[in-house]
Amino acid sequence: MHNTLSPSIRLAGLVAGALLPLAAGGPAALGADFFISSQADFDAYRGATFAPGDNILFERGKSFTGMFAPKTAGAAGNVITISAYGEGNRPVLNNQGVIHPHPTRSGATVSAGLLLFNSEYVEVSDLEITNNNGGNQSADLFGIYVLGEDTGKIHNHIYLNNNYVHHINGGVAGKKRGGIHVHGYSPTSSRATTYNDVRIVNNVIDQIGGVGIGTDIDDADIEDAQDFQGDQRANAIKNLYVAHNWVGNTGRNSVIARDSDHAVYEYNTSANSSRHSTGNSFFNFKTIGLTFQYNEAYGNVGEPGDHDRGGFDADYKSKGTVIQYNYSHGNHWFASVMKKPLTDVTIRYNLSVNDLHGAYHYGFEGETDATDVKIYNNTHFFSRGITPELIGPNLERTPLNTTFNNNIFYSSGSGAAGANADNGQNVVYDTNVYFRITPPTSEVNPLTDNPRLAGPGAEPYDVDMEFGRHVLDGYRLAENSPYFGQGIVMPNNGGLDFWGVPVPADAAELGASQRAPVGGVPGDFNGDGAVDLADYTVWRDNLGAQEGGSVLAGNGSGGVVDQEDYTLWKNNFGTGPALLTGGVVPEPSPASLLLVGVAAAHWVLRLAKSPEAPQPGSR
C-alpha cells in the first residue's frame, strides 16, 4: 500500500485531484514516487522539476501524447528514475511528430518522445517511445534525446535500458537525428558540454528516420583524435557502453559512434541498415580507443555501386580503433577503412558470411593519410552466386598502409583479389588463404588449398553473440585442415578467437578460429564435453586453487583459478554436445570475488531481452 503524502510544493500548479507524488520509504532525501496514469497526469508533469532520488513512473498498458521533457538532475548515489509500474505492456510515450520550442533558445526547436535536457544522474527504462505524425517530415525527430548545451561541465550517469523506440519519422537521411541520441553542444558560448558514464543497453530500436543510436560532442578540442598526444581528451565522452541493442530498419546508419574515448559497443545487432540513404551499419568518427566487438550486422544493401554499405567502418579522425569478434553477413561488404587521417586500426577475428560484393572497401580515394592498419585472422566465406572482389569491390578503390595476415578468403564459386588490390601504397599481404579466389600478385605466401572449414554454409540471423556463437561453428577449421599452426604470430593479438578460445602469444592459426588446446574444450571445467552451468559451479568451488591435475579438468587458463577462468567459461558457454538449455549465466557472488580480489563492478553479464519488445529480425 502506497503512502500518498506530498513531498511539498516542488511541483507547482497541481490542483486538487491531480496526481500526488508518493513518498518513498526512508529519509526524504531518497525522493518520492510520482505515478502517471492519465493524460492529465502526463500534462501536469511533462515539464516539471524533479529532485534527486525521485521516481517518475508511467502506468503500464497506458498511452500518453506529447513530449515528456522533465527538468531532471539527480546526484551521485541518488539518481532520478523514469520507468514503468503495474502489469502489462510498456507505457507508450508518443510525441506524434510535434515540433516544440527549445527549452532555452528562442527560435530553436526540438522534437522527441523523451527529452533529457542538461540532465545527469538519470536512469530511463521499460518505456515504449514513438514520434510519428503518420506522414513524411524532414525535421530532426528523436525517440530519446539526451541534449546538453552551454553548461561547461561533464554530465554524469545517463542510463537508458530496456526501452522500445520505434517509428520516428523525421528526416530519413540525417545523421544527427533518430532513435536514441546523446549530444553535447555549445550554440551560444564556448563552454563545452560533454558526458561521462553513459550506458545504452538492451533497447529495441526499429523503423527510424535517421540513425538508430548516435553520439555527438561539438567541441574543437576533440576534432583531430588521430593527432592527439595521449589517450584521454578533456571533452570527449568517457565511460560509454552500448550493448545488447537491436537496431533495425533505419533511414541512415544503425550506429554512429562519435567523440568518445575508449567506448565499447558490443553484443548489438544491426538489421537492414540505411534503407533510405547510404551508410555503413556501424561506424566511428573522432574517437580514441573505440572497440566494436561481438556485434552482428546484416541486410545493408542498395545499388551495386553504393559506397557505404558495409557492416563496419573504421572512419577518420580516429586512433586506436578495434573491430573484433563481429559477425557480418548479407551486406555489400564486411568492413571499410577511410583513407583520410586516422591511425592504428585493428580488424581481427571477425566472421564474414556472404557479404555480397567482397571483403574490404577503402573510402576517399585519393587521400593518403590513414596509417597503421592491421587486418588479420578474419574468415570470409562466399556462397555460390557471389563473385567477390576482396579489395575495393566494384568501386576502383585502393588499399593504403595496411598489412593482411592469417585471413581466410573462401569462395564456393570463384573470386578475385580485385583489380586494385596490388595498386595501393605500402600494402603487405603475407600468409593468407585464397580458396577459389585469385590472390594478389604481391602476396608473400599465398595459400590456395582448401582450408577445410568444419561445415560452412549456414547464415543464421539474430545470433546470440554472447552465448550463442556456437551456431557458427561450421566456420572453424576442421580437424583435417592442412593449415593448423601455419599462421604468423601477431603481437597483442587480443587473447581470444571469434569463439572465445584463448589465442597463445607464441602460436597462431589461420582465420578466425584457434585450435582448442589439448585437454578438451576451454571452459569445460568438469570434463564432460560441454560448457554449461555445471562448469560454473566447479569454477566457484575452486576459486584461488592452483590449476593442474584434475582442477578445472585441464581446461582453464592456467595458474590460479581466477577471473580469467570465469571469462573463459563465459565466452565458451554453450559449446559442446551435452548442453543445458534455458539456463541463465550466473554472476559470481561478491564473496567469491573477494577470494581473488576482483571487484564485482567489473563483471558485465548478459541482459535478457524483454518479452514485451517485438521479435526483431524481419528481413
Mean pLDDT of the region 451-462? 96
Conformation bin of residue 360: beta by default, left when phi > 0, alpha when psi is -120 to 50 = beta
Q: What angle in degrees, to the nearest 10, is found between the helix axes of 563-572 and 533-541? A: 180
Query: Model's pTM, two decimal places?
Result: 0.84
Please give the CATH number for the structural domain made up of 88-379+390-405. Answer: 2.160.20
Cell numbers at residue 433, please?
A: 588463404
- Are residues 418 and 431 in contact, defined by beta-carbon separation less than 8 angstroms? no
Residue spans per domain, the chain:
88-379+390-405, 522-619
Q: Which residues pair with 35 in a beta bridge?
A: 57
Tell me the residue ranges of DSSP E strands in 263-357: 264-266, 269-271, 282-285, 291-293, 296-298, 310-314, 318-324, 327-329, 333-338, 342-348, 351-353
Which pLDDT tens digit goes with each residue over 175-233? Answer: 778 999 999 998 888 888 999 999 999 999 999 999 999 999 998 678 898 999 988 99
Which pLDDT tens digit goes with each residue over 224-257? Answer: 989 999 889 999 999 999 999 999 999 889 999 9
Which pLDDT tens digit goes with each residue over 67-81? Answer: 999 999 999 999 999
- Matching fold, domains 88-379+390-405 and 522-619: no
Q: Which amino acid is at 251?
A: G
- Are residues 181 and 221 in contact, defined by beta-carbon separation less than 8 angstroms? no
Q: How many residues does the chain have?
A: 619
Taking alpha carbons only, the member of 466, 472, 419 closest to residue 607 is 466
Give, in order, the Cα–Cα distances in Å from 519 to each of 190, 527, 529, 547.
61, 9, 10, 13
**Which of 24-38, 246-260, 510-524, 575-589 has the least mean pLDDT?**
575-589
Q: Which amino acid is at 301?
A: V
Which of the four CATH numbers 1.20.1250.20, 3.40.630.30, 3.40.50.1260, 1.10.1330.10 does domain 522-619 have?
1.10.1330.10
- Are residues 527 and 553 in contact, defined by beta-carbon separation less than 8 angstroms? yes
Question: Residue 168: which H helix or E strand, with range?
Answer: strand 164-168
